[in-house]
Amino acid sequence: MLAPERRTRSDVIGALAIALAVIVAVTVVWLRSDARGTTSVTAESPLPPLSTSVLLPDILKQTWESPSADSTAPITVGNAVVTADGSDVIGRDPATGEEVWRYARNIPLCGAIGSWDRVVSVYQDNRGCSQVTSLVADTGARKDQRNSDADSAVTLSADGTYLISRGSERMELWRSDLVRTLEYGRVDAKVNPNKQPRTGCTLLDAASSANRVSVLERCPGEASNRLTVMNPAPKDAQEPEEYGSSILLDSEGARLLAVAGEKTAVYLPAANGTVSRITIFDGTGNPIVDYPIEGAVTEGARTHADKASITWWTGSQTVNLRLSDLAPTWIVNGTSGPGSMVAGQMLIPVPGGIAAVSPSDGAVQRMIAVDRGETTTPIVLASAGETILEQRGDTLFALR
């Protein structure tokens, strides 16, 4: 029978040293981990379904408000209203504004947007606006995540199939599981060189559909802006597949308004004897028709799209773009923002209220009074059941 092995003092000290090293390593990993700096409080139960039949009163009154500086339009997804501010993404009851779930990080929020019945939040680390998480809208539960190179500031847009994250030098498209379908522009980790068609370009604007993604960019050595039309999901996400790319002469101040199907709408200001116009380009980036547009376009001009409409606010008028071909079909003057479809009505913000207009011809059917005080900022509308939401600058307001 063998005698039991005796532990020496050196053995004990060695074992303690190993244990201490493991504890230190685990502690360092925890301190550096994303989990340590993340707060995720999900809803106790999903929010109830919202009413789909909305009868708007003659006067709408404010019921609640909340800071939402990191959204550009009301985020109404599923049965929730979501605010995005600082480092917090918060799901709220549309009727009361009460917080029902919260997702927060110890790093700055670059932006948040609703898509695919989820909220996609983008946070900034030392690689730019690179940390991305999608959240179930009704509960705040985490779904998909991704992390990749990005610019330090990005603009988010979604078409229902793809989501664009565009910086001034680099752009990515993601599908609903946050898998990247396209990268365009600056590439930091050049595993396979020479796959991007151009380098050093400034990405001015972008929009997408299920069939096309279009980019307005300015490239070194070129006399004017360039419009590039691509496949939103090429065979190789790192190798863009262009359908067409051309320089738009005299296009200083141009704006990419929308993409629908294979068509792209671009606003081109007056230059060298031409009038201001909306030009529609086909799926290969060739111009097919021009529509003259009167009036100045301000810096705050913006497009708003939902499932039933696309409208462009120039800074003083709202232009309806037909979903099938992006042709401008009617204009309402003296407005304060783009329109939004609510229960079969097109609602457009105007000074002192909201105009309910006919979606077919833009005729104003009635006015709904809203007391906004001295507000002069652009207004973007949306609805969540019987609650009307207005994004005014850095604040979201709820009206009933």
Mean pLDDT of 308-334: 97
Mean pLDDT of 320-335: 98
- Model pLDDT, residue 375: 87
Residue with tokens 């099938």: 324
Residue 300 has pLDDT above 70, yes or no: yes
Residue 94 has pLDDT above 50, yes or no: yes
Residue 23 has pLDDT above 70, yes or no: no
CB 335 within 8 A of CB 355: yes
Average pLDDT, the chain: 92
- Model pLDDT, residue 188: 75
Percent of the chain clearing pLDDT 70 (strictly above) = 90
- Model pLDDT, residue 30: 43
Position 21 confidence tier, pLDDT thresholds 50, 70, 90:
low
Phi-psi category of residue 35: left, alpha or beta, with phi > 0 → left and psi -120 to 50 → alpha: alpha
Mean pLDDT of 93-110: 98
What is d(CA 351, CA 168) in angstroms, rounded to the nearest whole number? 34
What is d(CA 38, CA 150) in angstroms, rounded to the nearest whole number? 21
Mean pLDDT of 259-275: 95
Residue with tokens 């002069």: 376
Residue 36 has pLDDT above 70, yes or no: no
| Identity of residue 327 | A
Q: Per-residue pLDDT tens for 190-200?
A: 666 789 999 99
- Model pLDDT, residue 29: 43
What is d(CA 395, CA 179) in angstroms, rounded to the nearest whole number? 31
> Rounded to two decimals, what is the model's pTM?
0.90
Residue 377 has pLDDT above 70, yes or no: yes
Mean pLDDT of 148-157: 97
- Model pLDDT, residue 343: 84
What is d(CA 213, CA 223) in angstroms, rounded to the nearest whole number? 23
- Using a 10 angstrom Cβ sphere, with 0-12 exposed, 13-18 middle and 19 or more buried, the burial of residue 122 is buried
Q: Per-residue pLDDT tens for 2-19?
A: 455 555 666 656 666 665
- Model pLDDT, residue 15: 61
- Model pLDDT, residue 54: 76
> pLDDT higher for 287 or 56?
287
Give whole-number Cα distances, 224 to 11, 221, 246, 296, 297, in Å.
75, 9, 10, 21, 19
Number of alpha helices (DSSP H) and beta strands (DSSP E) in the chain: 1, 34
Residue 1 has pLDDT above 60, yes or no: no
- The mean-pLDDT minimum among 1-15, 104-118, 209-223 falls in 1-15
